[in-house]
Amino acid sequence: MSSTAGWIRGSGSAGRPRGKRVATDTVTSGAVAAIGTTGVSRFAGILRSLRRSPAGFIGFIIVALLVLITSIGPIFTPTIEPNIKEILLPFGSPGHLLGTDNEGKDVLIQMIDGGRSVIFIGFVAAAISTALAIALGSLAAYLGGWVDSAVVTAADVVLTVPQIVLLAVLGALFKLDSPLLLALLVGGLSWPVLTRAVRSQVLSLKEREFVEAARLLDLGTPRVVFVEILPNMASFILMNFMIGVTNAIYSLVGLYLLGLAPLTGSNWGIMLNRAWIAGAIFNDASLGFILSPVVAITLLLLGLVMMTRSLEEILNPRLRDR
């Protein structure tokens, strides 16, 4: 469980005879080594469990392929320029597998080039919101008092404001010309729900014996919270991080679709905005233009949801034993 929890279990051997204590210490040291190797092989164990779950493994393959294609693909794609002679070519046109857009640009090349920023912003925004939620929720629960009241009040205030409206206002006030700025904006507004969940988990865990022992040893608040308590919530945090990625991508695509984020460059959200404005939905020849980003975003989110569902079954003993 944690270092202090192990200290509690080992402290009972102090009053035993020397021979028995030596034997016990040998067994204990072997157990500690086994615990250390468990942490190293945990990720490999999750992957093995995913392979036994058809839905989770398919979701993992979908996400891995999309990440691989959008990360490496732009290295091999040529630079595309507007071509008025090839405007709105349909699916399967010679040299344009997914057709072209209203400027004559190849849709497939835009799909390969445009996924990297969406995936990057989704994961970075989820990392930011998860880090904020862990820090604020755990400290609020552990310290209590005015810290707890301040964090809970701030979370309630942010939750009461519709996120899309707040994103629209902030997007109009600030020039969001960088993927990192968009990730900071989306992640900075997505922490309250997870903060309340982390707070409730820590409120339960801080009453355990190993936390009381850590307090008696005067290990300090940072050590108790971030070394003794949070490692016991690793699976819970991982699950919520994956959910945070999907929510961040939803918010990002909504910003682009409504034109609230800079429409410069090329990504799936910008493609969707341009296709909608150009009326691609009403033109049979341009279905590839509007459906391609929709299908890509749907596949990415579907893969993440399938992975999250399977990870929940793997990491939650109650669901695993059904």
Indicate if 167 and 248 belong to the same structural domain. yes
Residues 31 and 81 placed together within one structural domain of the fold? no
Q: What is the pLDDT of residues 232-279, one digit of tens each?
A: 888 888 888 988 999 999 888 888 888 877 777 778 988 888 888 888
Whether the Cβ atoms of residue 110 and residue 270 lie closer than 8 Å to each other: no
| Residues 19, 142 share a domain | no
* Paired tokens of 60: 């993992």
Alpha helices in 161-286 (DSSP H): 163-173, 179-188, 192-205, 209-216, 221-223, 234-257, 268-277
pLDDT of residue 103: 85
Residue 78 DSSP code: P
pLDDT at 318 over 60: no
Contacts of residue 228, defined as CB under 8 A and 6 or more positions apart, other chains included, come to: 2, 3, 4, 5, 210, 211, 214, 219
101-105, 215-219, 230-234, 307-311: the lowest-pLDDT one: 215-219
pLDDT of residue 175: 74
SS3 79: coil
Residues 6+ apart with CB under 8 A from 94: none
Q: Which of 131-145, 173-187, 257-271, 305-319 has the highest mean pLDDT?
A: 131-145
Q: Is 139 in the same domain as 218?
A: yes
Q: What is the mean pLDDT of the chain?
A: 79
User: Which pLDDT does position 90 carry in this prediction?
Assistant: 84
CA 197 vs CA 29, 117, 118, 317: distances in Å:
35, 29, 27, 19
Residue 121 belongs to domain with CATH number: 1.10.3720.10
Q: Torsions phi, psi of 201, nearest 5?
A: -65, -45
pLDDT in tens, 3-53: 454 444 444 444 444 443 444 343 334 433 333 444 446 666 666 766 777
- Measure the CA–CA gap between 254 and 122, rounded to whole angstroms: 13
The span from the first CA to the last CA of the chain, in angstroms, equals 24
Highest mean pLDDT among 48-62, 247-261, 295-309: 295-309
What is the number of structural domains in the chain?
Answer: 2
Do residues 235 and 88 both lie within one domain? yes
14, 85: one domain:
no
Reduce the DSSP state of residue 29 to 3 states and report it. helix
- Residues spanned by the domain of 144: 54-320
Radius of gyration from C-alpha coordinates of the chain? 25
Helix (H/G/I), strand (E/B), else coil: 292 = helix
Give the C-alpha separation, 107 to 263, whole Å.
17
Two structure tokens written together for 4: 């202090």
Alpha-carbon span 176 to 27, nearest angstrom: 58
44 and 63 assigned to the same domain: no
Q: Do both 28 and 91 map to the same domain?
A: no
Q: Which long-range contacts (CB under 8 A, 24 or more apart) does 191-194 make?
A: 191/129, 191/130, 191/132, 191/133, 191/136, 191/155, 191/158, 192/133, 192/154, 192/155, 192/156, 192/158, 192/159, 193/133, 193/159, 194/129, 194/130, 194/133, 194/134, 194/137, 194/240, 194/244
**pTM for the predicted model, two decimal places:** 0.78
Q: Which residues pair with 106 in a beta bridge?
A: 100
Query: Which residues, at least 6 apart from 255, have a Cβ–Cβ distance to it below 8 Å?
Result: 167, 168, 171, 182, 186, 261, 269
Of 12, 29, 52, the position where a domain reaches its end is: 52
| 106 and 18 in a common domain | no
Helix 268-277 to helix 234-257 angle (10° resolution) is 30
Whether residues 130 and 19 fall in one domain = no
Pair (163, 20) in one structural domain? no
37 and 146 co-located in one domain: no
Domain end call among 52, 69, 84: 52
At position 73, the amino acid (one-letter code) is: G
